[in-house]
Amino acid sequence: MSCKKTSPTWAVAAGLAWALGAAPGCDEHDRHAFPAPPASVAAETVTVEPRTQLLPTFPCSSRCHSARESQPDKRLLTEFHTFRNTEFHHGDPAGWCYQCHSQKNIDRLVIASGELVTFDEAYLLCGGCHGDKLRDWRLAVHGKTMGHWTGNKIRRSCTGCHNPHNPTFPHLVPEAPPVRPEHGERM
């Protein structure tokens, strides 16, 4: 793309860059300008990776909770969820299941407005506190994107990477390092 071919729209968009770069020649301008918008790239469609189907005991209501009363007060869990007692490390230690899970419908999450959302829309819940991250995630600056860069994108939801009950990203075993170069006829 040469200076002459730069379309007016993009000249405006790149204007700030040019001004700040204060580049003198045409060549320099080109280097600091955005390329022309793509002709061959399809419109973007973003799908959020569904989560519900990955939950082993879903739907919670029909599996277990239909036969139980919800207990809104914090206590030590004694049956199926006992491991959450020690695992839970998220936000206020006084927090309890029904801060996020709906007491009315255990198959849904409840967001700040009181609306119920599915587990596939967990990001709406997370964003209630982590608004900056939600904003970045929506822009694909935070979080993992898969699929095709040409437009058909699949975005992993918050809970795809973070355990909502203990959201610090887990430690990982690293892959083996490359081999240090050595002297000798054969490495």
Which residues in this chain contact another protein in the complex, by CB under 8 A? 1-2, 6, 13-14, 16-17, 20-21, 27, 30-41, 44, 136, 139-152, 156, 161, 169, 171-181, 183-187
User: CA-to-CA distance for 93 and 76, rounded, in angstroms?
Assistant: 13
153 φ, ψ to 5°?
Answer: -110, 145
Closest approach of another protein to the CB of residue 87, in Å? 18
Q: Under 8 Å CB-to-CB from 125, ≥6 apart: which residues?
A: 100, 109, 110, 111, 117
Q: Residue 77 or 154: which CB sits closer to another protein?
A: 154
Closest approach of another protein to the CB of residue 126, in Å? 14
Closest approach of another protein to the CB of residue 69, in Å? 39
Q: Residue 14 or 124: which CB sits closer to another protein?
A: 14
Q: Return the C-alpha torsion angle 135, 140, 143, 148, nearest 10.
A: 160
Q: Residue 88 or 137: which CB sits closer to another protein?
A: 137
Q: Residue 34 or 80: which CB sits closer to another protein?
A: 34
Q: Residue 67 or 172: which CB sits closer to another protein?
A: 172
Closest approach of another protein to the CB of residue 123, in Å? 13
Q: Check: CB of residue 129 under 8 Å from CB of residue 164.
A: no
Give burial (CB, 10 Å; 0-12/13-18/19+) of 165.
Answer: middle
Closest approach of another protein to the CB of residue 176, in Å? 7
User: CA-to-CA distance for 126 and 123, rounded, in angstroms?
Assistant: 5
Q: Check: CB of residue 131 under 8 Å from CB of residue 65.
A: no
